[in-house]
Structure 1
Amino acid sequence: METFNTNIFPKGEKAPSDYFSGGTAWVHIIKPNEDQLNCQIGNVTFEPSCRNNWHFHGGGQILIVTSGSGFYQEKNKPVQVLHTGDIVNILPNVIHWHGAAPNSEFTHIAINTNTQNGIVE
């Protein structure tokens, strides 16, 4: 299988394996949480079959899929298939996971909002 990186941001640093399963993920922080906007923006790339563990964001999160195919699931709800261009609005404290399909690398921009309420749990 040949893969191409068509993303506008670099892959970034390898993410801690404690937060992911099924493979490796990389995170490139585009905008750190350091000012009055109360948001953090990162570019996250999952290798095929990699996903994050169940988690929630105290202030909510917005995902913008920039390449590949993946999945998103909220607790007790069906899995949603995601493709390039899809946007997911995740309300505060909603338990969920997201990650790559088995046959595709998956990249999204993650916007963590209202970070004064917590970034991730």
Structure 2
Amino acid sequence: MTATWKIELIPVPVTDVDRAKEFYQRIGFNADHDHRVHEGLRFVQLTPPGSACSIVLGDGITGMTPGTQEIQVVVADAGAARRQLLEAGVEASDIDVQPWGTFVHFPDPDGNRWSLQAIESRPNG
């Protein structure tokens, strides 16, 4: 039997924690936690609407360079997701239709890149 693996938390490297937190809340992420554990460690967890996986940003969270993270998320409707981003004042790409899905891309304030993919169906297995 294969063990179940669930991705729970993805680090997102940022330069300004408060600016990043505001950005992600503006596009609909829920702010789950914001704790200063000690000097040099602030843990901010945010969860996209409907997701079982969250992102974490803060001081002392990751050694990654801000702007280097790339994350892909599945959405029900790429057009609706794009409209939501534009209404929140976020620069979003035009809709990119590919045989494996419809995509919308956008950066966060540090340049971390997000891809939103709408897919009609997933293969089983």
Q: Would the TM-score normalized by the shorter structure come out above 0.5?
A: no
- Structure in which a larger fraction of residues adopt strand: 1
- Structure in which a larger fraction of residues adopt helix: 2
Tell me the TM-score normalized by structure 1: 0.30
Tell me the TM-score normalized by structure 2: 0.30
Say which structure, 1 or 2, has more relative contact order (CA 8 Å, 6+ apart): 1
Q: Which has the larger radius of gyration?
A: 2
